[in-house]
Structure 1
Amino acid sequence: MTHFDDKARDLMAALESGATGDQLRPFFHPDAVQVEHPSRVVPAGRTRALNAMLEASIAGARLFASQRYDIQNTIAVENRVAVQLRWSGVLAQQLQDHKPGDVLEADVAMFLTYDDAGRILRQESYDCYP
């Protein structure tokens, strides 16, 4: 594993433990960008700057009682890490046809680009919801 593999694993562990908002800020460069490619949940895809990302983490924490990031594989090349993971979240509240306690799952391919200080500059993900 490289230094950046560890950083990616640290981020997933923080998310899984319930870190949100400013607790996540140290993982990211101030000019960080998140790109979510089109999926069933976000059909048009979306791009967010850091503050919008952090706000979304707070909203997500309200929606889910818990989340799990089961990393299946990582590949690091220079300052980029590709992460293959299985995400699952237990709903805390109603979401469309899903009730509290239901588990949502996705297979995710995430690509993280880091600066020299080990902060994420770009987070790009492809989420596949079965």
Structure 2
Amino acid sequence: MTGTPRHPDVGTAVRYHTALTRRATAEEPAGFFHPDVVQHEFPNALAPDGAVRGLLAILETAERGRAVLSHQAFDIVEAVAAGDTVALEVRRRGTRAVPLGELPAGHEPRARFAAFLEFRDGRIVARRNYGCFDRLAQEDRRRRSEVPPRKEINSLPVHLMALLSAFQ
């Protein structure tokens, strides 16, 4: 991250993700949430129908993650705060502890996501996650067969590049 803004809720959001990186047990992450918290996870590769969770379900999901990943890290790329809302851009990576379908233990899933956190009384009361996960099975099959990956074109049309540069 280019520098953590001094907004207190940004600090709380960063500490929460640091606790997840340390694989903290449920009690520590629970302290970051308001009792009335609601999380909206929008459809993605791991939750194709999305999900809405309260506090107990959020903590259960985190514990399941601890069981299937031997390591995970959350890198905060950017954080912006306005009022009681913090917007985060996050990179997540991990190492699978157990196989899942075609994915063996040791597979290293990666994701990027945006999270919008709303705070009440210094605790997270609402969370909206928009996740983008790597192509899991295809990436692993390619790695196992040692076929070099095809070259990806990483360029955007000129008008999109100009638009993006206006926001930097």
Query: Which TM class, normalised by the smaller chain length?
Result: over 0.9
Question: Which residue is 1:125 aligned to?
Answer: 129
Question: Structure with the greater relative contact order (CA < 8 A, sep ≥ 6): 1 or 2?
Answer: 1
- 1:23 and 1:9 map into 2 onto residues whose CA distance is 14
Give SS of 2:31's match: helix
CA RMSD of aligned residues (A): 0.8
TM-score, L = length of structure 2: 0.75
More strand by share: 1
- 1:36 and 1:70 map into 2 onto residues whose CA distance is 19
Moved more, 20-29 or 33-42: 20-29
Deviation at 1:22, TM superposition (A): 2.1
Question: Which residue is 1:74 aligned to?
Answer: 79
Structure 2: stretches of 5+ with no match in the other structure: 135-168
TM-score, L = length of structure 1: 0.96
* CA deviation string 1:70-117 (max 9, x = no partner): 1100010011000001111110001121111110011100010000x2
Deviation at 1:23, TM superposition (A): 2.0
Aligned residue pairs: how many? 129
Give SS of 1:103's match: coil
Segments ≥4 residues shifted beyond 2 Å: none
Structure 1: stretches of 5+ with no match in the other structure: none
Point out the structure with max Rg over C-alpha. Answer: 2
Deviation at 1:48, TM superposition (A): 0.5
Q: Percent identity?
A: 33
Question: Which residue is 2:115 aligned to?
Answer: 110
